[in-house]
Amino acid sequence: MTRTRRGLPLIHDDDIRRAAGRLRPDADTEEVTARVAWSVLIEPGDAVAGALIRACGATDALRIAFGQTGLLSSALVPPRALHEALARWLPRAQPRAVLDALISAQEVGARVLLPTDDLWPRGLDDLEAHAPVLLWSRGDPTVLGALTAAAIVGARAATSYGEAVAGEIAGDLAARGTLVVSGGAYGIDGAAHRAALGSGGATAAFLAGGVDRSYPIGHQQLFERIRQAGVVLSEVPCGSAPTKWRFLARNRMIAAASLATVVVEAGWRSGTLNTAGHASALGRPLGAVPGPVTSAASAGCHRLLREYDAICVTDARQVRELWGEDDESEQQPHPAIDHDRTRLLDALSIRSPREPIDLARRSGLSVDRVRALLGVLDLEGEVQQRAAGWVRSP
């Protein structure tokens, strides 16, 4: 601890710098090292660290925090807040822990994403002082380059109804290029990831623990599939346990990294409502999928509709509408057109040829409308003209 205060070995240790260089040879080693150090020092969402880093960069923030430029600190953060923050950071200010984080990452092939990277999810910046200092990633981070991203989240104790609807929505979104963001949990999260992968689309899982851990253990295979075709992300270093606090903090990233958050199933006091709360706080559109009122697994969704002004969504098209995308081509065909067509086809016979005037009487359409529709149906091969009039193709 005394050494830390003097030489700042958290980032100036040679072993640490070499390991950081190996992890991100393309980036500024000092910046990588400093952010890795912060990711070891703090619990997710530490606003004092966030404010310091935003104000003067990760490296200088460390110097300020650990006393090398003590005077500056009080101008950025109230002295008492910094004092309290130091009290919680110091127990973790071990160079060994920083080195361990880097080595563990290398061992599992994890990479580090920095806020300055092109692939950094820009939405995370809206978390301001609560934004993650970096992201540990495994898999293919280029999927983060998708133009649109939607969070599909929900209960672990999902019903088959919920899993089916989550799969339907996530699969459709992913098939049309939207990154499906979720938390890798059992139930809705898993169904969303699986459907995105199944439709050949992209998916990202934000984990509460380190990316070296498969939690829940039953999703080991799913995480492997996500790492092959998508990406697994976490703000805490490898080896970190997925504690309850980290689950809550992780939810803010899911909401911030997505254009909209959709809750598929959630109990009355589900942790998913926490993600929904983050989406609302960030001004992101919040969707809720309704379900039977007799299903406890939908109670949280109905609560979101009632108390959080969530928007009722029932399919992927309505999810895209949350961020203003309008699938005009998919909209229901004008009923009048279908109607006339049906009425004319009803009026036609396969065997007896009929003249337009007869068809008009039978269908209740005008003779002009009948003639126009017959032309269209002829091109489509639905009708044929005979000497004595028109017949329907068999």
Q: Which residues bind its own copies (CB under 8 A)?
A: 42-43, 46, 84, 87-88, 91-92, 161, 164-165, 243-246, 248, 268-269, 289-294, 298-299, 301-302, 305-306, 311-315, 318, 332, 335, 339, 342-343, 345-347, 357, 360-361, 363-369
What is the distance between the alpha carbons of residues 134 and 140, in angstroms, rounded to a whole number? 16
Give the residue with the Cβ less far from its own copies, 3 or 268. 268
Report the Cα 95 to chain-centroid distance in Å. Answer: 34
Give the residue with the Cβ less far from its own copies, 15 or 168. 168
Give the residue with the Cβ less far from its own copies, 342 or 393. 342
Shortest distance, position 97 Cβ to its own copies, whole Å: 9
Q: How far is CA 36 from CA 41, 127, 141, 166, in A?
A: 9, 19, 18, 35
Closest CA to 150 of 176, 112, 120: 176
Give the residue with the Cβ less far from its own copies, 23 or 236. 236
Shortest distance, position 22 Cβ to its own copies, whole Å: 27
Shortest distance, position 385 Cβ to its own copies, whole Å: 20
Shortest distance, position 343 Cβ to its own copies, whole Å: 4
Give the residue with the Cβ less far from its own copies, 222 or 347. 347
Shortest distance, position 17 Cβ to its own copies, whole Å: 24
Shortest distance, position 210 Cβ to its own copies, whole Å: 14
Give the residue with the Cβ less far from its own copies, 46 or 189. 46
Give the residue with the Cβ less far from its own copies, 143 or 165. 165
Report the Cα 290 to chain-centroid distance in Å. Answer: 20
Shortest distance, position 233 Cβ to its own copies, whole Å: 20
Shortest distance, position 369 Cβ to its own copies, whole Å: 7
Give the residue with the Cβ less far from its own copies, 231 or 305. 305
Give the residue with the Cβ less far from its own copies, 122 or 268. 268
- Please return the burial class of 381, using the count of CB atoms within 10 Å of its CB with bins 0-12, 13-18 and 19+: exposed
Shortest distance, position 82 Cβ to its own copies, whole Å: 12
